Amino acid sequence: MRDENIRIRAAAPEDAAQLLDIYTPYVEQTAITFEYDVPTLEEFQRRIARTLQRYPYLTAERGGELLGYAYLSPFVGRAAYQWAAETSIYLRMDSRGLGLGRALYEAIEGIARAQNLTNLEACIGRPAGEADEHLTDNSVEFHAHMGYRMVGEFHKCGYKFGRWYHMAWMEKLLAPHVPNPAPVRPFPALTGPELRALGIEAVAGRP
């Protein structure tokens, strides 16, 4: 059960130091991300700011400490893909198993629906055989539990820690696919009441 003292709110570039602390072990110790080098603080701040121009970037906070974060990003980037977005989620290593993943993903999905997105796509590293100390199938199992289905897998396309890893795509459909879909609303266009209705703290200064 999720701790009632944990709140979900929009992240900001000012949160970058804590969020980078969460991300760093994933780069250095796991193949969950295929990134080799830990980004600089300045680069991480730019990533957050760039995401927030169009997509949600949420964090779970308890008593001023950030325990995890999730965000959406462009899927491929061509205009025709604009109703689809890619998901990402990272939890502090000592904060897994608290229900934060579900809480963050449910909040992200609520925002995605409010933005008129139809598809969420998850790019997931997975072992090319037996699980090892750097990667298991936990992320695939989490996404399946959240209603994502497997749609494809690329074999041994990622190389990290001297080993080859597969990359899977999983997908969740949020809305019917109709002719002339409603325009995608950028995250900054969502109002404070809309966010609060989704259980997300409104961004400072947002009506």
pLDDT at 94: 92
pLDDT at 97: 80
Structure token digits, residue 162: 């001297």
The neighbouring-strand residues paired with 66 are 61
pLDDT at 4: 73
148 torsion bin: left (phi>0), alpha (psi -120 to 50), beta (else): beta
pLDDT band for position 201 (cuts 50, 70, 90): confident
Average pLDDT, the chain: 94
Please answer whether residues 207 and 191 qualify as being in contact, where contact means their C-beta atoms are separated by less than 8 angstroms.
yes
Please answer whether residues 73 and 85 qualify as being in contact, where contact means their C-beta atoms are separated by less than 8 angstroms.
yes
Quick: pLDDT tens for 27-42: 999 999 999 999 999 9
pLDDT band for position 2 (cuts 50, 70, 90): low
pTM for this entry:
0.94
Cα 123 from Cα 167, distance rounded (Å) = 7
Quick: pLDDT tens for 59-111: 999 988 999 999 999 999 899 999 999 999 999 999 888 899 999 999 999 99
